[in-house]
């Protein structure tokens, strides 16, 4: 596995754990705090490694890395269950204890690779000093290159109606046709409004949540670094769903500048997606009922009771409008059934 000379001991432990438990759900993996790592220096000698700090100027301290400890990244390491307290972390002087190390980090006067020049000696932001994120745009662009295929694949999978074996789910076709009918019913001809309706119904309501927070659906870990990267992808996804072109200039955020060349292609992909759905064969209510019946045989993939409860919460929120609409359409019996159910259930 690949370790870097700039990795701290905790980062090295996290990488080792990920390699050892790569097929295990994140909730079942040990954390770096649960294990110790030993550096095997020869056949018989070993050295237990812990995060340490060394003094620098102005009261700031830097975290030691494999490089500053002169440890070859090709060395042999072994993870073992953590012993308490670790030998190198004495409670009476010497190397700092876990608590003192945490206090140093929480003070804000600790840095890893590059000290925050926008902070004073106490770790507090300096007034009138602002970093220029565009300085890192070249570095971000270089990082983007190996990830570009995965971002393209993401848009292809989401915005291709016939992607995969299942193809277009009938419920999506039904929702899109419903929005088209409502626009026609109310005399709405502005394509931007219809485009916005469709985007807000599924892509910007469903997919954006998964892109931004995959840990809600999957048993994976999302740290701050991953969260910031996913935020860039999520913002690109949102910009691609806008009908009008976004104004990009030198004052724009670096995250938007990063994908400004790809966004027009993604926007065209979104428009073609809705166009292809519109050209598909209409879906009847019988088809929707059949799809729901098939979902009953897949309880692990769809929790029917949970879905019904979410619909019930939505109906209760707009109960007055819903009852008035049912009565106007001559569905008074259905409105009375809803009133009876809502009165018999706890207030949501």
Give the pLDDT of residue 239. 92
Buried b (16+ CB within 10 A) or exposed e, 74-113: eeebebeeeeeeeeebeeeeeebbeeebeeeeeeebbbee
pTM of the model: 0.72
Give the pLDDT of residue 138. 75
Check if CATH label 3.30.420.40 holds for domain 9-129: no
Give the pLDDT of residue 208. 93
Q: What is the mean pLDDT of each run of 10 residues along the chain (348 residues)?
A: 84 88 89 84 73 72 83 82 58 46 59 65 51 63 88 91 67 91 93 94 91 89 86 92 82 80 92 91 85 70 75 86 88 86 69
CA atoms within 13 A on the CB side of 226: 9
Give the pLDDT of residue 117. 59
Identical fold for domains 9-129 and 140-298, yes or no, is no
Q: Where are the domains of the chain?
A: 9-129, 140-298, 303-348
Spell out the CATH class of 140-298. mainly alpha
* Cβ neighbours, 10 Å, residue 60: 19
Q: Are 97 and 91 in contact (CB under 8 A)?
A: yes
In terms of residues, how long is the chain? Answer: 348
């Amino acid at each position: 596995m690949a370790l870097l000379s700039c990795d701290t001991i905790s980062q090295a432990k996290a990488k080792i754990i990920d390699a050892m438990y790569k097929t295990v759900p994140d909730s079942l993996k040990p954390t770096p705090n649960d294990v110790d790592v030993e550096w095997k220096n020869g056949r018989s000698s070993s050295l237990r490694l812990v995060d340490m700090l060394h003094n620098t100027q102005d009261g700031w301290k830097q975290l030691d890395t494999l490089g500053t400890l002169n440890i070859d990244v090709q060395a042999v390491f072994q993870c073992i269950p953590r012993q308490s307290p670790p030998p190198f972390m004495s409670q009476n002087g010497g190397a700092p204890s876990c608590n003192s190390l945490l206090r140093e980090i929480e003070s804000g006067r600790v840095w890893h690779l590059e000290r925050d020049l926008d902070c004073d000696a106490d770790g507090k932001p300096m007034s009138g000093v602002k970093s220029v994120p565009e300085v890192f745009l070249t570095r971000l662009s270089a990082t983007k290159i190996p990830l570009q295929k995965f971002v393209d694949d993401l848009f292809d999978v989401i915005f291709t109606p016939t992607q995969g074996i299942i193809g277009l789910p009938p419920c999506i076709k039904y929702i899109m046709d419903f929005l088209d009918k409502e626009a026609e019913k109310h005399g709405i001809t502005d394509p931007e409004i219809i485009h916005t309706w469709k985007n807000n119904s599924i892509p910007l309501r469903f997919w954006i949540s998964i892109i931004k927070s995959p840990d809600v659906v999957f048993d994976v870990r999302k740290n701050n670094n991953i969260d910031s990267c996913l935020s860039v992808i999520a913002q690109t996804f949102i910009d691609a769903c806008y009908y009008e072109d976004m104004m990009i200039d030198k004052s724009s955020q670096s995250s938007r500048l990063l994908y400004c060349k790809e966004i027009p292609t993604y926007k065209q992909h979104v428009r073609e997606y809705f166009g292809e759905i519109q050209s598909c064969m209409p879906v009847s209510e019988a088809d929707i009922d059949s799809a729901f019946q098939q979902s009953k045989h897949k309880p692990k993939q769809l929790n029917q009771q949970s879905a019904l409860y979410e619909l019930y919460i939505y109906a209760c929120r707009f109960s007055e409008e819903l009852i008035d609409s049912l009565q106007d359409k001559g569905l008074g019996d259905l409105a009375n059934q809803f009133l009876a159910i809502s009165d018999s259930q706890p207030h949501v």
